[in-house]
Amino acid sequence: MTLYSLLFDHGLTRIDPETAHHLGFRGIRVAAPALRALGRPGDPVEALGLTFPNVLGLAAGFDKNAVGIDALAALGFGHVEIGTVTGEAQPGNPRPRLFRLPRDRAVVNRMGFNNDGAEVVAARLERRARRGDTVLGVNIGKTKVVPDDDQAAVEADYEKSARLLTPHADYLVVNVSSPNTPGLRNLQSVEKLEPLLQRVRRTADEACPRRRVPLLVKIAPDLADDDVLAVADLALAIGLDGIIATNTTISRDGLRTDAAEVGRTGAGGLSGRPLTARALDVTRMLRQRVGTDLTLIGVGGITTVDDARARLDAGADLLQGYTAFIYEGPLWPRRIIKGVKGVTR
């Protein structure tokens, strides 16, 4: 057990999770100059037509509003995915909306895409003084008030975000898999997803005509296997660049935490160790389906070096983490990156 783990278990767990997040993020930004002096660990990885400084990135959700990209990179992450950003600013769901399950090394969130909106985030990225070689991903989602059954409105909402944010992104992600925006996961059906992705692709090309920004889709672990394969086939058919597998789960199966405590957290997406097996299976399934034609980013339940190696062995080109970063602390990215050094899929 690390010193951070002791501090987390006996101190930080007494602080409201969302408050702890903001305090921790502020501390990372303050410490960034000292962290940069440690240098960047790991081996470069070629994926999506880009050079990633190493295999591990920070998943969307930590830096929703692009306020600490380079400070987070100073921790060792080779890429940082901001967002989810929506077309319009929105406050998200009422608090409390973030819960820890320490016995499971898991988190439940129902944040609801709280963010400053595409216009504000784009302006912030425009002002950003970029440091180093960090790859920036931008994750976009649906504004809550846009009805999921109005396909034209949904596409227009994503189009606004893509138009404003693509010029600042190294890669773009369409998020249709968060469980915290009503109706969002319905967009994972192929008949709705195909026109949406094609609309975003056209918009991205128009917004950034001098370079092609790779486009990926992020899917849920709760999709049936046949639906996972259908998304894989669609991605190949329309020339998508990659798939991120997976988002959080609505399942609560197999948890060590007392059922009454789990029940008190209410609805939301579960992330962390309980997601490991399913996210691994989905990654393996996707790789077997798409061959070498798409980039796969493995995320969900990656805590240890063995977890990271298993995900790479299953076919992931890149990895992302979030919940383990919360539980394991600021040195966790470097431990994972050093542990998989020299490993290729």
Q: Is 110 annotated as a binding residue?
A: yes
To the question of whether residue 291 is assigned a binding role by annotation, the answer is: no
In order of 13, 252, 258, 276, the CA distances from 263 in angstroms are 18, 9, 9, 21
Q: Token digits for 48?
A: 């999506």
Flag whether 1 is marked binding: no
Q: Which residues contact 256 (CB under 8 A, 6 or more apart)?
A: 103, 104
User: Residue 23 corresponds to which tokens in the numbers above?
Assistant: 């305090």
HSE toward the beta carbon, residue 248, CA cutoff 13 A: 24
Q: Is 109 known as a binding-site position?
A: yes
Is position 251 annotated as part of the catalytic site?
A: no
Q: Is 25 annotated as a binding residue?
A: no
Query: Does 61 belong to an annotated binding site?
Result: yes
Six-digit token string for 86:
């929506």
To the question of whether residue 64 is assigned a binding role by annotation, the answer is: yes
Does 239 appear as a known binding residue? no
Question: Per the annotation, does 60 bind a ligand?
Answer: yes
SS3 assignment for 185-244: HHHHCHHHHHHHHHHHHHHHHHHCCCCCCCEEEEECCCCCHHHHHHHHHHHHHCCCCEEE
Asked whether residue 321 is marked as a ligand-binding residue, the answer is no
The torsion angle over the Cα atoms of residues 195, 239, 189 and 271, rounded to 10 degrees, is: -120
Residue 62 marked in a binding site: yes
- According to the annotation, is 247 in a ligand binding site? yes
Distance, in Å, from the CA atom of 341 to the CA atom of 55, rounded to the nearest integer, reads 9
What single-letter DSSP state applies at residue 59? P
Please check if 263 is assigned to a binding site: no
- DSSP H/E element including 310: helix 305-313
- Please indicate if the annotation marks 139 as binding a ligand: yes
Closest C-alpha among 198, 216, 228 to residue 296: 216
Residue tagged active-site, from 5, 161, 177, 178: 178
DSSP helix/strand/coil, 314: coil
Q: How many of the other CB atoms lie within 10 Å of CB of 9?
A: 12
- Residues belonging to the chain: 345
Q: List Cα–Cα distances, 250 to 55, 64, 92, 207, 220, in angstroms.
A: 28, 21, 18, 35, 9
111 belongs to an annotated ligand binding site: yes
Q: Is 180 part of any known ligand binding site? A: yes
* 272 marked as binding residue: yes
Catalytic residues: 178
Residue set of the binding site: 60-64, 84, 109-113, 139, 175, 180, 218, 246-248, 272, 301, 322-323
- The binding site for FMN consists of 60-64, 84, 139, 175, 218, 246, 272, 301, 322-323
Binding residue numbers for substrate: 64, 109-113, 175, 180, 247-248
